[in-house]
Amino acid sequence: MIYILSGAGLSAESGIETFRDGGLWDRYDISDVCSAQGFEKNPELVNNFYDRRRLELKNVRPNAAHRYLASLEERFEVIHLTQNVDDLLERAGAKRVIHLHGKLTELKCLECGEVFDIGYESSKGRVCVKCGGDNLRPNVVFFGESAPNYRYLYSIKASIFIAVGTSGRVLDIADIAKGYGNSLLINPKREKRVTMFGEFDEYIDEYFTLFIQKRATEAISDIEEVLGNLRRL
């Protein structure tokens, strides 16, 4: 089993804007559009924001790294946990994808809890497919909310843990890597370890067996080599 945890860096190469490193952060206040309080204050602003993100998603395509990571399912047992709310891994052909922070193509009914997919369309004028209510929100995890799928983070029995395109600032990937004899980190930058206890004077990559300091699309042959060696063990 291969456990792959992906973050914004994987989809950034497809042109998906991220909050870090400029981009969306410059134009939106994250507490307005990504928090439960923001949604309560102005649900229309939040829904409009996610309507635009959904439309953007329609117009981007999976990149070579999405396609490669998805194709691993043909040769190995693979489970993808992703922090990304886009569906690019699925569009690249991945079957086993768990979204830790929800999914952009889905809405959630605040009356009955139903979650349903609207593809890349606007949420305007939509009603719940189950109860007909119009009190809907994007099915994404806002800051400060609990993320039920985090229960999978530490429960996967895999022979290798691969973290790709995640800075480790949202999830403590160093702590997850500790639980695996083989672990691989792919990220263009070295990142300091930051947890809820503050910033540590150490780098995340020190916790991984191997660190490939590249973008995901440039690391494909390196990953292939690591998996080849693993098979020979």
User: Is 99 part of the annotated catalytic residue set?
Assistant: no
Q: Single out the segment in contact with Zn ion by CB under 5 A; choices: 85-93, 112-120, 191-199, 221-229.
A: 112-120
Handedness of CA 140, 59, 213, 152 (dihedral sign): positive
Considering the complex, state which of residue 111 and residue 117 has its C-beta at the smaller distance from Zn ion: 111
Beta strand 115-117 with 102-109: parallel, antiparallel or unpaired?
antiparallel
Enumerate residues 48-87 that contact Zn ion by CB under 5 A: none
Considering the complex, state which of residue 114 and residue 191 has its C-beta at the smaller distance from Zn ion: 114
Q: What is the DSSP secondary-structure string of 25-73?
A: HHHS-HHHHSBHHHHHH-HHHHHHHHHHHHHHHHT----HHHHHHHHGG
Q: How far is the CB of 67 from Zn ion (least distance, A)?
A: 36
Considering the complex, state which of residue 30 and residue 112 has its C-beta at the smaller distance from Zn ion: 112
Query: Out of 51, 56, 73, 114, which residue is the one contacting Zn ion (CB under 5 A)?
Result: 114
Token pair recorded at residue 137: 């929100």
Considering the complex, state which of residue 137 and residue 193 has its C-beta at the smaller distance from Zn ion: 137
Q: How far is the CB of 133 from Zn ion (least distance, A)?
A: 5
112 is a contact residue toward Zn ion (CB under 5 A): yes
136 is a contact residue toward Zn ion (CB under 5 A): no
- Binding-site size, Zn ion (CB under 5 A): 8
Measure Cα distances from 9 to 107, 125, 127, 226 in Å. Answer: 25, 33, 34, 20
134 is a contact residue toward Zn ion (CB under 5 A): no
Residues 6 or more apart in contact with residue 188 via CB below 8 angstroms: 9, 213, 214, 215
Counting Cα atoms < 13 Å in the Cβ hemisphere of 85 gives 25
Q: What amino acid positions are annotated as catalytic residues?
A: 101
Contacts to Zn ion by CB under 5 A: 109, 111-112, 114, 128, 130-131, 133
